[in-house]
Structures are given as structure tokens and as C-alpha cells.
Amino acid sequence: MEGPRRRARRERAERRAAQARAEAIEQARREAKRRLRTGSAEPAKGVPRGTIRGLKMALAVFLTAVLVVGLGLILYFTPLMSVRDIEVTGIATVTREEVLDVARVQPGTPLLQIDTGSVADRVATIRRVASTRVQRQYPSVLGIAVVERVPVVYKDFPDGPHLFDRDGVDFATGAPPRMLPFFDVDNPGPADPSTLAALQVMTSLAPDVAGQISRVAAPSVASITLTLADGRVVVWGNTDRTAEKAQKLAALLTQPGHTYDVSSPDLPTVR
């Protein structure tokens, strides 16, 4: 049983709690109204400057990419920048027609569609061509630069004289140029050690000395001899210290004699 005093205290507590709830509800309503009024009156917040700058940059990159791709497609698929002329340089014994025939480049082909490496490889199959370089020359020229092989020695075969370049490549058959040395090697070729040794000696000589050589003999890599047009003989030996031997030989040839031995460059002799 609840006494009168306890009941009175409980009722007062309930009235205070009810009043507090009512005040809290009223306060919440006022706060909601205030937020609604404040939200409708305040201007919308703007986009941060950093975001705008990033969007502008992204748009610029996108437009640039579209422009580059579009321009590339135009140049690749249309004759706007196509081959109207083929410029061949560096040829002497090789003819322009030979080069164009193996290059197989059709006039009017867009320059970007041309595989310059493949064209260079095809031109390099010509025996007399040592190397070649192919370049696009915008807006409408394809340049083919050729380096021809230069004969260093020749050797007679049943079908006629064969010309060999400094790498031992047999690149032509026909009459050798005047004063070209005869090559006395059993199996000349770029894979033959005696061939490479003899040609290394020939290319090391001073031009005025090389011009006097009429015969190069290399029965082995260690027994190289040179014969001059006037019959004098140079005993070279192997390819050790080739540059030093070439220098000593140029000085020895100013002295009278028949045999010039530079196989030992420390003790060159004239007999």
C-alpha cells in the first residue's frame, strides 16, 4: 500500500517528467523549423576550385587524345601524306631501278603504312649493298640511303673473277678494278679465318701502301704475305700488332730491298 506522501511525491515526479518531455518535443520542433528556414535561405555551396581545375585538365587531355588519334587515323588511312617520290642516294654501281624493284613500295601508299625496316631488309638483299637506311620524309618522300660494298681483293673462279669486300663477302662477279690485289686464299668467305686475317691486314695499310699491293696470300692466319706490283715481298706473319706493323712497313718501303719482314715489329728487317 502506498501512503499519501509517497503518492504525492510520485505524482509530482510524473508531472515534472511529462513537462520535460513536452518541453523537449517543443524544442525539437523549433529546431526543425529553424533548420528548414536556414537551409532555404543559405546559398548552395560552390564546387571547390581544385575540382574544377582537375575537370578542366581531364577534359583537355581527353580532347588532345581524341585529336591525336583522329589525326593519326587520317594520316594512316588517307593519301594526305603518301609517297609521291622515292629518293635513292649512295648508289654508284647499283641502279635506282634495282633498288625500287626490291623495295616494293607503291606510289600513293600512306607513309605511316610503310614498314621502313622491312624495306631496308629487302634492299639489303642486293649483293652489292652493304647496308641501307629507309626514312620517311614528310610530307610525301620516302628516302632510301644505300651504302655499297667496296671491293678490296678479287679471286678467279671458273665463272670469272669474284670481288670480295672488307668483310670477306663475295658480292659481284666481273672484271676487277685496275690495281685490285689478287686474293690467294683457299676458301675465301666471311666465315674463313684466313680470309678475315688477310683482309684485316689489307684494311690496316695506309692508302699509298695498299695501292701498291698486287697479291695477298694467306695459307693460314699466321702466314700472311703481301706482294707489291714491282715484285717486292712483305712477310707479315699473323695479325698481332697489325697497326704497328702497318706503320713500320710504310717506313721500311722507303728503303731499297726485295723482302720486307715485319712479322716481328720490334725487329723489322729488309733484305
User: DSSP secondary structure string, 78-112?
Assistant: SGGGB-SEEEEES-SSS-HHHHHHHH---TT-BGG
Task: Quote the CA–CA distance of 245 and 211 in Å, as a whole number.
Answer: 17
For residues 33 and 139, the model is more confident at 139
| Confidence at residue 54, expressed as pLDDT on a 0 to 100 scale | 76
| Confidence at residue 56, expressed as pLDDT on a 0 to 100 scale | 75
pLDDT tens digits, residue range 112-152? 899 999 999 999 999 999 999 999 998 899 999 999 999 99
Task: Answer yes or no: are the C-beta atoms of 141 and 85 closer than 8 Å.
Answer: yes
Please give the C-alpha separations between residue 127 and each of 87, 146, 234, in angstroms, as whole numbers.
Answer: 20, 12, 32
Question: Quick one: pLDDT band at residue 18, thresholds 50, 70, 90?
Answer: confident
Prediction pTM value: 0.70
Cell 499519501 sits at which residue?
Answer: 4
Average pLDDT over residues 237-258: 96
Question: Quick one: pLDDT band at residue 57, thresholds 50, 70, 90?
Answer: confident
Q: What percent of the chain has pLDDT over 70?
A: 90
* Alpha helices (H) along the chain: 4-41, 49-77, 96-103, 116-123, 193-204, 207-210, 242-252
Question: Quick one: pLDDT band at residue 72, thresholds 50, 70, 90?
Answer: low
Residue 87 pLDDT exceeds 90: yes
Q: What percent of the chain has pLDDT over 90?
A: 68
Average pLDDT over residues 31-52: 65
Beta-carbon contacts of 269 under 8 Å, excluding residues fewer than 6 positions away, are 260, 261
Average pLDDT over residues 82-89: 95
> Mean pLDDT, the chain, as a whole number?
88
DSSP state of 186: S
pLDDT tens digits, residue range 153-176? 999 999 999 999 999 999 999 999
For residues 100 and 60, the model is more confident at 100
| Confidence at residue 80, expressed as pLDDT on a 0 to 100 scale | 67
Task: Answer yes or no: are the C-beta atoms of 124 and 179 closer than 8 Å.
Answer: no
